């Protein structure tokens, strides 16, 4: 009758040899290190890509905000057609950003389609709106005379 030995709570028959031991070999350890290294490299590349995307989003948002402010400024000034067609945003604290304004006559009297393209060294954004300019409507007096 064979007697079973118990090692770490498991029954073991025969003697403990290299084939019976529960340990990592050098090859298994190297494969684990390589897999961890590949995972770390992939994570770092993902973080770098995320950071680049975030920087581009910040630049785009800044340009859209500057373009929106310029549209508000155009809407207040009158008439629309006398607005300068290009310049920079030095007055808004962004001398590195520039703008180009395209004004097209709208389909309704007194309306203009205004497109502002703001750009800097990194990106370019466009914003369009319709502006009503009452001073550009020609009125003919046909009342009671």
Mean pLDDT value of segment 44-66: 93
DSSP codes joined into one string, 7-26: ETTEEE-S---TTT-----H
Count up the domains in the chain and report the number: 1
Q: What pLDDT is recorded for position 82?
A: 72
Whether residue 39 lies inside any domain: the answer is yes
pTM over the 0.85 mark: no
Q: What pLDDT is recorded for position 145?
A: 47
Q: Are 118 and 67 in contact, with CB atoms under 8 Å apart? A: yes
| DSSP alpha helix (H) spans, the chain | 26-76
Percent of the chain's residues with pLDDT above 90: 32
Whether residue 4 lies inside any domain: the answer is no
Return the minimum-mean-pLDDT range out of 27-31, 41-45, 139-143.
139-143
Whether residue 127 lies inside any domain: the answer is yes
Whether residue 37 lies inside any domain: the answer is yes
Give tens-digit pLDDT for 90-117: 888 888 999 999 888 888 888 888 899 9
Give CA separation, 48 vs 14, 44, 54, 55, 106, in Å.
55, 6, 10, 11, 45
92 vs 35: which has the higher pLDDT: 35
Whether residue 7 lies inside any domain: the answer is no
Whether residue 143 lies inside any domain: the answer is no
Whether residue 21 lies inside any domain: the answer is no
Q: Are 116 and 127 in contact, with CB atoms under 8 Å apart? A: yes
- Give the chain's mean pLDDT: 82
Whether residue 3 lies inside any domain: the answer is no
89 vs 84: which has the higher pLDDT: 89
> Which residue segment(s) compose the domain that 131 sits in?
26-136
Asked if residue 22 has pLDDT above 80, the reply is no
Asked if residue 140 has pLDDT above 50, the reply is yes
């Amino acid at each position: 009758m064979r007697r079973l030995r118990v090692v770490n709570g498991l029954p073991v028959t025969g003697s403990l040899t290299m084939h019976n031991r529960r340990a990592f070999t050098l090859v298994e350890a190297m494969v684990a290190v390589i897999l961890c290294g590949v995972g770390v490299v992939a994570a770092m590349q993902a973080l770098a890509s995320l950071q680049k995307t975030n920087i581009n989003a910040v630049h785009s948002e800044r340009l859209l905000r500057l373009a929106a402010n310029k549209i508000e400024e155009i809407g207040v000034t009158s008439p629309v057609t006398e607005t300068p067609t290009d310049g920079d945003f030095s007055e808004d604290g962004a001398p590195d950003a520039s703008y180009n304004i395209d004004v097209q006559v709208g389909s309704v009297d007194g309306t203009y389609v205004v497109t502002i393209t703001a750009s800097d060294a990194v990106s370019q954004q466009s914003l369009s709106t319709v502006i009503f300019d009452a001073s550009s409507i020609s009125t003919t007096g046909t009342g009671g005379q």
